[in-house]
Amino acid sequence: MTTVEAPETHLRENPFELAKEQLRRVAKTFQIDPNLVNVLSQCKKAVVVSTPVSMDDGAIQVFEGYRVTHNIARGPSKGGIRYHPDVTLDEVKALAMWMTWKCALVGIPFGGAKGGVICDPKKLSPLELQRMTRRYTSEIINEIGPEKDIPAPDVGTDPKVMAWIFDTYSMNVGHSVLGVVTGKPLNIGGSLGRLEATSRGALYCVREAMRKQGRKIEGTTVAVQGFGNVGSYLALFLHEQGAKVIAISDSQGGIHNANGINIPAAIAHKQETGTLAGFRDGEAITNDELVLIECDLLAPCALEQVITSDNADRVKARMIVEGANGPLTPGADEILDDRGVVVMPDILANAGGVIVSYFEWVQGLQEYFWKESEVNARLNDIMTRAFNETWNAHDQRGISMRTAAYGIAVQRVAEATMTRGLYP
Ligand code: GLU
């Protein structure tokens, strides 16, 4: 008899169930009408598509893809597309719901959506990746559009993938539609500052939190989990501000160096080899060890559910900034909150990406492009305002930053729904 092992996944619990649980808790604290909570607990629309692709060896492989819209009460839906072997429909639904809250919290006129394709982009050739992206785009072409639903990069996708989505959509309608997707390369209507935006927003968030505590970034010890777009730029920005980044990791594992890691060298190594493996500026550690390291600030910037009720009591950091979406489970939240750890929640901490996506969408619609300093100054304004609103609610009501952020966001979406009224 052979045993078929379940594929290893980072998802220990159903993420959509966790997202709904978060919503129920927040609704109770903020006394939101149960009828509205019922509406907001569900996704407006979920499309499942089959994406057949001719592989380089002549075989045909079929990939399952999703595009989910959670809510459009405050504007067209917005959210990234994830390429990862562990993608599930319920994961995409949770990520779509979090996009609704994120856009509401930072006050940009979008609802929430997310897409995903079950695949390992690292194992596809550039041509296979392009064919898969174009076929997936044409399968969801009736769902997306600049006034309807606007995709962007997420885990496993990048500006190159956005360029193919933009081109496929534009070829089908017969003219270039800049506003259909954000995170595009600069030479075809991307925005300056978009690539670094998620990390820059997280940096502003850390700066504000430290200011509230009378501390400085300079000299702070930091551990960053995940060295993709978000983790690598956040490590770099903190390093440039004088923080000591003592641990970094990617999906292959990580390194620890109590004297501080040379982050520009780590980024150069990752760019050259595609991984942090083989970068020797400290001793090797696993991802599980990294989140438990002694440091001032922990930045989980990879996938969901890395800190759960199983390990939260052993986390030594005093402050956590969620570069990833959903890296802490509600169980972990409770333990960390009791221990006085300040958690800057995903919908606030990583909102910089969608904020500059909003700027890119506006620039595309107006065909008028801004300087990088303008992009960063406006990002700073929005992040600082959202941080202060969240901090004040946390401070005045004695609730966690997560409950405060979700409460503000859910209330805004509930109010927009009430103002519009239920159709018909
Ligand atoms: N995928 C990113 C997020 O989770 C960016 C979304 C966007 O720019 O629309 O926020």
Q: Is the pLDDT of residue 4 over 50?
A: no
Ligand 1: does its nearest atom lie under 6 Å from the Cβ of 357?
Answer: yes
Ligand 1: does its nearest atom lie under 6 Å from the Cβ of 151?
Answer: no
Ligand 1: does its nearest atom lie under 6 Å from the Cβ of 191?
Answer: no
Centroid of ligand 1 to alpha carbon of 241 (angstroms)? 25
Of the residues 102, 114, 244, 270, only one is catalytic, namely 114
Centroid of ligand 1 to alpha carbon of 182 (angstroms)? 9
Q: Is the dihedral of CA 413, 416, 420, 422 positive or negative?
A: positive
Ligand 1: does its nearest atom lie under 6 Å from the Cβ of 80?
Answer: yes
Q: Can you tell me whether residue 405 is helix, strand or coil?
A: helix
Centroid of ligand 1 to alpha carbon of 153 (angstroms)? 6
Best of 77, 195, 198 to mutate for ligand 1, by most ligand atoms within 8 A of CB?
198
Beta carbons within 8 Å of 286's beta carbon, 6+ residues apart: 249, 253, 254
Across the beta sheet with 45-54, the strand order is 45-54, 60-71, 111-118, 77-84, 149-153
Q: How much is the average pLDDT of 351-365?
A: 98
pLDDT, residue 260, reads: 97
Confidence of residue 11 (pLDDT cuts 50, 70, 90): confident
With a pLDDT cut of 90, the percent of the chain lying above it is 97
pLDDT, residue 8, reads: 66
Ligand 1: does its nearest atom lie under 6 Å from the Cβ of 78?
Answer: yes
CA atoms of 411 and 424, how far apart (whole Å)? 22
Ligand 1: does its nearest atom lie under 6 Å from the Cβ of 79?
Answer: yes
pLDDT, residue 76, reads: 98
Centroid of ligand 1 to alpha carbon of 339 (angstroms)? 30
Best of 92, 325, 354 to mutate for ligand 1, by most ligand atoms within 8 A of CB?
354
Q: How much is the average pLDDT of 45-54?
A: 98
Length of the chain: 424
Q: How far is CA 182 from CA 41, 162, 303, in A?
A: 27, 7, 21
Confidence of residue 9 (pLDDT cuts 50, 70, 90): confident
Confidence of residue 244 (pLDDT cuts 50, 70, 90): very high
Best of 99, 348, 360 to mutate for ligand 1, by most ligand atoms within 8 A of CB?
99
With a pLDDT cut of 70, the percent of the chain lying above it is 98
Helix (H) or strand (E) holding 100: helix 89-106
Closest atom of ligand 1 to 182 CA is: 8
What angle in degrees, to the nearest 10, is found between the helix axes of 401-420 and 372-397?
Answer: 100
Is residue 114 flagged as an active site residue?
Answer: yes
Q: Is the pLDDT of residue 251 over 70?
A: yes
CA atoms of 169 and 280, how far apart (whole Å)? 44
Helix (H) or strand (E) holding 416: helix 401-420
Give per-residue pLDDT as tens, 378-393. Answer: 999 999 999 999 999 9
Ligand 1: does its nearest atom lie under 6 Å from the Cβ of 353?
Answer: yes
Ligand 1: does its nearest atom lie under 6 Å from the Cβ of 22?
Answer: no
CA-proximal residue: ligand 1, atom 7 (nearest): 354
